[in-house]
């Protein structure tokens, strides 16, 4: 198979395969391993502060000289109000009591202790660190940030979950669009945090390819040669994989979380707002089942900030019912081994079918 596409030409990689930016799972070591075999590693910065972004990028640059991307969240911020503060206190009390009922003693941050990151701080860190590829989710960058990044010759990858979002990204001048299907693991990249488009990936990819003249990366359910080639047939020039790497040596998941993957069933995987306030595809557990459909969910990023301490305590106690394991809908034998070896095996499978 000829792996050269518009994506490899824009990104400077050998293969048009992108390691997904899985915040909380991706490590600098995973990024370096993916880039090291000629794919594109992606460092998930999420909503980290300027200083933490600088540190994470610096660590990654020490591990690889190959191209890699950084990924940020560009969500809007909820308006501060007494109503929000009151809701926060209500949710905090409920979650604290729920955790204690299940043997987890946890101290959640107070409302005034929450620090919210403006993604423009991250843009400044990215430029200062001389990164050359940036992807983003939860909306579109503002015109000023796009202008700054373009001035610094940085390739921009926006994420869409609908044709409408793809058209907005195209108009704003991004270089590449990542088409995220509903079946993809992790957070929905949707511009709207509540009324998310619920469009299957292959249907969406085909429509975006027909209507948007931009190089496309497809994300959602790619775990073997057949799924990759299906996306290629429908117009993808790049292929993003995430769940495939969850059990890799470089994954930040702990052993007890990786073991949960071997028992997962299709009915276990749900879309939930319970951990972060935005819809995420994850493995169902006690926390999700208790909070979903209730009033104990704050708008993003407050819910995410509040539950961070809960998830940390759950990891320390190996309590699977209070951690968030983001997982795509395509269940498969999650592979052990290094990120590089897993991606090379995928590449060999594709080549065996096409050469």
Q: Are residues 26 and 61 in the same domain?
A: yes
330 assigned to some structural domain = no
Identify whether residues 215 and 91 lie together within a single domain. no
Residues 166 and 59 placed together within one structural domain of the fold: yes
What are the contacts of 145-152 at 24+ separation with CB within 8 A? 145/119, 145/120, 146/172, 146/173, 146/174, 148/123, 149/123, 152/127
Whether residues 278 and 300 fall in one domain: yes
Residue 160 lies in a domain: yes
Whether 6 is in a domain gets the answer yes
In a domain, 329, yes or no: no
Between CA 125 and CA 127 the distance in angstroms is 5
Q: 131 and 225 share a domain?
A: yes
Pair 292, 208: CB distance under 8 Å = no
Query: Do 141 and 221 fall within a single domain?
Result: yes
What CATH code is carried by the domain that includes residue 186? 3.20.20.70
Buried b / exposed e over 104-120, threshold 16 CB at 10 Å, is: bebebeebeeeeebebe
Classify burial at 142, counting beta carbons within 10 Å of its beta carbon; exposed 0-12, middle 13-18, buried 19 or more: middle
Whether 319 and 206 share a structural domain: no
How far, CA to CA in Å, does 137 sit from each of 118, 183, 321?
14, 16, 27
> Do the Cβ atoms of 56 and 28 come closer than 8 Å?
yes
- Are residues 151 and 300 part of one domain? no
Structural domain count of the chain: 2
CA quadruple 277, 282, 288, 289: dihedral, nearest 10: 130
pLDDT tens digits for the chain (355 residues)?
Answer: 899 999 999 999 999 999 999 999 999 999 999 999 999 999 999 999 999 999 999 999 999 999 999 999 998 888 889 999 999 999 999 999 999 999 999 999 999 999 999 999 999 999 999 999 999 999 999 999 999 999 999 999 999 999 999 999 999 999 999 999 999 999 999 999 889 999 999 999 999 999 999 999 999 999 999 999 999 999 999 999 999 999 999 999 999 999 999 999 999 999 999 999 999 999 999 999 999 999 999 999 999 999 999 999 999 999 999 999 999 999 988 999 999 999 999 999 999 999 7
pLDDT of the residue at 76: 86
20 and 129 both lie in a single domain: yes
Structural domain of 310: 78-114+254-324
> Does 7 map to a domain?
yes
Residues 220 and 104 in one domain: no
Q: Are both 73 and 83 inside the same structural domain?
A: no
pLDDT of res. 355: 79
Judge if 144 and 24 occupy the same domain.
yes
User: Exposed/middle/buried for 205, CB within 10 Å: 0-12, 13-18, 19+?
Assistant: buried
Token readout for 208 is 């975006």
Q: What is the pLDDT of residue 109?
A: 95
301 domain residue, yes or no: yes
């Amino acid at each position: 198979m000829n792996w050269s596409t518009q994506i490899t030409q824009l990104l400077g990689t050998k293969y048009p395969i992108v390691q997904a930016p899985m915040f909380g799972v991706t490590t600098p070591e995973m990024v370096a391993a993916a880039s090291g075999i000629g794919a594109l590693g992606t460092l998930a910065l999420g909503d980290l502060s300027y200083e933490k972004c600088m540190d994470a990028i610096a660590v990654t640059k020490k591990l690889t000289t190959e191209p890699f991307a950084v990924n940020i969240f560009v969500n809007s911020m909820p308006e501060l109000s007494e109503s929000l503060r009151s809701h926060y206190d209500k949710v905090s009390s409920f979650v604290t009591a729920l955790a204690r009922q299940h043997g987890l003693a946890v101290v959640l941050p107070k409302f005034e202790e929450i620090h919210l990151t403006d993604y423009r701080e991250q843009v400044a860190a990215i430029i200062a660190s001389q990164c050359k590829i940036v992807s983003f989710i939860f909306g579109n960058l503002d015109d000023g940030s796009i202008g700054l990044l373009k001035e610094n010759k940085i390739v921009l990858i926006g994420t869409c979950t609908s044709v409408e979002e793809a058209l907005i990204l195209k108009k704003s001048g991004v270089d590449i669009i990542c088409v995220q299907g509903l079946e993809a693991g992790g957070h929905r990249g949707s511009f709207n945090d509540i009324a998310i488009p619920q469009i299957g990936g292959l249907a969406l990819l085909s429509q975006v390819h027909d209507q948007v003249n931009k190089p496309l990366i497809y994300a959602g359910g790619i775990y073997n040669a057949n799924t990759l080639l299906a996306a290629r047939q429908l117009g993808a020039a790049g292929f993003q994989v995430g769940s495939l790497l969850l059990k890799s040596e470089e994954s930040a998941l702990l052993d007890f979380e990786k073991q949960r993957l071997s028992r997962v069933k299709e009915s276990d995987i749900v879309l939930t707002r319970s951990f972060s306030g935005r819809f995420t595809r994850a493995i169902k557990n006690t926390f999700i089942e208790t909070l979903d459909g209730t009033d104990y969910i704050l708008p993003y990023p407050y819910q995410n900030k509040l539950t961070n301490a809960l998830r940390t305590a759950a990891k320390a106690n190996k309590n699977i019912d209070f951690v968030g394991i983001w997982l795509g809908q395509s269940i498969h034998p999650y592979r052990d081994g290094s990120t590089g070896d897993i991606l090379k095996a995928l590449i060999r499978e594709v080549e065996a079918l096409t050469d």
